[in-house]
Chain A
Amino acid sequence: MMAALQMRFGLGRQSFVGGFILAALVILIGLIVMAAAEKAQIRVANVFFVNLILVLGLQITMGNSNVANLGHITFTGVGAYVAGILVAPLAIKATGIPNAPFGLNTFELHFIPAAMIGVVIGTVLAFLTGLVLTRQTGIAYSIATLALLVIVHTVFTNWVDLTRGPIAFYGIPFKVNTVSLMLIAAACAIVARLFRDSRWGLQLRASGEDVLAAEASGVSVKRLRLVAWTLSGFVLSLGGVMYAYLVGTISPKSFYFDAVFLTLAMLILGGMRSASGAVVGAVIVTLGTELMRWLEGAPVIFGAKMPQIFGLTGFFLGVVIVLFMALRPDGLVGDEELDEMAKRLWRQRKARAAAGEDTGPETSS
């Protein structure tokens, strides 16, 4: 299969190796948490994996095409609501959404087909909205993605018969755990890495640098953006399903500006131009927000009682976005994947060592 992928998509061996290394890193994080952490920390790790899936989904479109996407969480919401409503037990639906349309309160699905339907509907919606959105360029595109978020949020909030409106939809069975979440996040990391390195990803990255030059080379920028947008919709709605199965209760505000900002901050901090950046950003921002949450709770540090400060987490995310946009727009990882960076540094070291041997006496004197 690998050879076929190489042929068809122009992927090299390093893309696969790098993808698996990144996936292994994600799994390692999960294993460490499972071995060492307490229940509260495992809960944090589970949410981290869901967020990581979302950040990787965002990276696929925004990172490669280099155009801001502010509406990606739309598909997360769609995936979560579709799967959540389909899988919820009849008793829950009888009290929660007694007037559900399409007879949705007359049956309940097994969690796997429900998940599949959630992902399919999210992906199809991404494709359809992408047909319109990818005709826009630059700032119009970014604003349009934001408008999409607001439109779908309005539907979630006001289609009370279907979603219970602004009140939380509860009773979704818990169907995922740390193991399944980390495996799916790892798989998404591989998908994001392979897409980035594929012919499509390469062409999209070129268009992100210079749309005109890419088009002059015969790159179909609109079509590639649509491909990326749809694939991203797939990953994001999968993340939404995972979220619903993890927390069991969803409400429209779970899929709104807070989630958009959190995932954006993760991607920007880590570096949006690589899948590695998405992983690094998700890890660091999660650690950072946990630290802020701890500080918010007025802890005692070195015997001194800290004052209670509300809103530190939001403040922290805002500061992360502003600082990185201003000082390090490429994020921590930059535009190389971690394995590419390691390879380059290794090569440079070897070259330096070789040069040192050649001119040994002179350099030491």
Chain B
Amino acid sequence: MLVVDRLSVAYGSIKAVREVSLRVEKGEIVALLGPNGAGKTSLISAIVGLVPSAGGKVELDGTDISRKRTEDIVRLGATVTPEGRKIFGDLTVGQNLRLGAAVRRDRDGIAADIEQMLTMFPILRERFASRAQTLSGGEQQQLAIARSMMSRPKLLMLDEPSLGLAPRLVEQIFGLITELRAKGLTLLVVEQNAYDALALADRAYIMNSGRLQFSGRSEDLLASDDLMEHYLGTGTGGHAGAPG
């Protein structure tokens, strides 16, 4: 579904991403892990054209999208849910959902999809006419994901969906991710919360200082304290007491 080939991102003279290659197959959940500042957000921003790439190639279903504009990439089926629940706080929940369908013109389809989102996220139906900023953190994350779903993506890239959420809500959001995959979606999940993300994902990539450091199956990573310690700076010891 997604093939990233030696993609680089630079902000002036600072190289945020250095020749990273990765693949996401149809129907997979892939985790992209790494510490703060590793270049994860820059990488997915470059994949959808939100920041220009400084070399490399991105293919979506065999189409080269490296030089395309974000709106065209969204139209082709790859959408990012940005980090920090960037919902439009002054607009209503309903308007936020409509905005998710910015690239679509099929009025009836949009209305049907809004209805579907409201069924999937009952809280959004309840708060449909309220301003999005009045939603709680967990509700805002649900809205952010629902908004992304409104573009009918094939590949959804979630940037830190668990950031700032209470453990119970993290579980809820991760449950939702599994549910989305069951509906046929392919997901690339950027996380700092490595354990929970690995429990969810089929495969994982680990980035550090702009480079890809590891790629492999989630269970292999989880099974090896050495790998966890080495790449993520945390063995099972550091995980004691956390839910899961």
Size of the chain A interface, CB-CB below 8 angstroms: 19
A202-B91, A213-B88 are known contacts. Are A218 and B74 too (CB-CB below 8 A)? yes
A10-B98, A206-B99 are known contacts. Are A216 and B79 too (CB-CB below 8 A)? yes
In the complex, given contacts A206-B99, A216-B48, A216-B81, what are 13 additional A-B residue pairs having Cβ atoms less than 8 angstroms apart? A199-B98, A199-B102, A202-B91, A202-B95, A210-B86, A214-B99, A216-B50, A217-B99, A217-B148, A217-B151, A218-B79, A218-B102, A218-B151
CB neighbours (8 Å) of A215 from chain B are: 50, 70-71
- Residues of chain B touching chain A, judged by Cβ–Cβ distance below 8 Å, are 48, 50, 69-71, 74-75, 79-82, 86-91, 95-96, 98-100, 102-103, 107, 147-148, 151
How many angstroms from the CA of A218 to the CA of B48 in the assembled complex?
10
Pairwise interchain contact A218-B71, C-beta atoms closer than 8 A:
yes
CB neighbours (8 Å) of A220 from chain B are: 69, 71
Residues from 192 to 232 in A contacting B, C-beta threshold 8 Å: 199, 202-203, 205-206, 209-210, 212-220
Pairwise interchain contact B90-A335, C-beta atoms closer than 8 A:
yes
Q: With an 8 A cutoff between CB atoms, is A7 at the interface?
A: yes
CB neighbours (8 Å) of B50 from chain A are: 212, 215-216
How many angstroms from the CA of A202 to the CA of B91 in the assembled complex?
9
Pairwise interchain contact A203-B82, C-beta atoms closer than 8 A:
no
A205-B91, A209-B91, A335-B90 are known contacts. Are A216 and B82 too (CB-CB below 8 A)? yes
Pairwise interchain contact B82-A219, C-beta atoms closer than 8 A:
no
Q: Min CB distance, B50 to chain A, in Å?
A: 6
Pairwise interchain contact A203-B70, C-beta atoms closer than 8 A:
no
- Kindly report which residue of chain B lies nearest to residue A10, judged by CB atoms: B98
CB neighbours (8 Å) of A7 from chain B are: 107
Residue from A212, A213, A218 in contact with B87 in the complex, judged by beta carbons closer than 8 Å? A213
Pairwise interchain contact A217-B90, C-beta atoms closer than 8 A:
no
A to B contact number (C-beta, < 8 Å): 70
- Kindly report which residue of chain A lies nearest to residue B49, judged by CB atoms: A215
Q: Min CB distance, A364 to chain B, in Å?
A: 30
A202-B95, A202-B99 are known contacts. Are A216 and B88 too (CB-CB below 8 A)? no
Residue from B71, B79, B90, B148 in contact with A219 in the complex, judged by beta carbons closer than 8 Å? B71
A209-B90, A212-B82, A216-B48 are known contacts. Are A202 and B98 too (CB-CB below 8 A)? yes
CB neighbours (8 Å) of A199 from chain B are: 98, 102
Pairwise interchain contact A203-B86, C-beta atoms closer than 8 A:
no
How many angstroms from the CA of A212 to the CA of B89 in the assembled complex?
14
How many angstroms from the CA of A117 to the CA of B167 in the assembled complex?
64
How many angstroms from the CA of A215 to the CA of B91 in the assembled complex?
16
- Kindly report which residue of chain B lies nearest to residue A220, judged by CB atoms: B71
Which of the listed residues B86, B87, B102, B151 has the most CB atoms from chain A within 10 Å of its own CB?
B102
Pairwise interchain contact B88-A206, C-beta atoms closer than 8 A:
yes
A-B contact pairs, 27 of them (CB 8 A): A199-B98, A199-B102, A202-B95, A203-B102, A205-B88, A205-B91, A206-B99, A209-B88, A209-B90, A209-B91, A212-B50, A212-B86, A214-B88, A214-B102, A215-B50, A215-B70, A216-B48, A216-B79, A216-B86, A216-B148, A217-B79, A217-B99, A217-B100, A218-B70, A218-B71, A218-B75, A218-B151
Q: Min CB distance, A218 to chain B, in Å?
A: 3
How many angstroms from the CA of A364 to the CA of B107 in the assembled complex?
49
A205-B91, A209-B89, A210-B88 are known contacts. Are A216 and B102 too (CB-CB below 8 A)? no
- Kindly report which residue of chain B lies nearest to residue A335, judged by CB atoms: B90
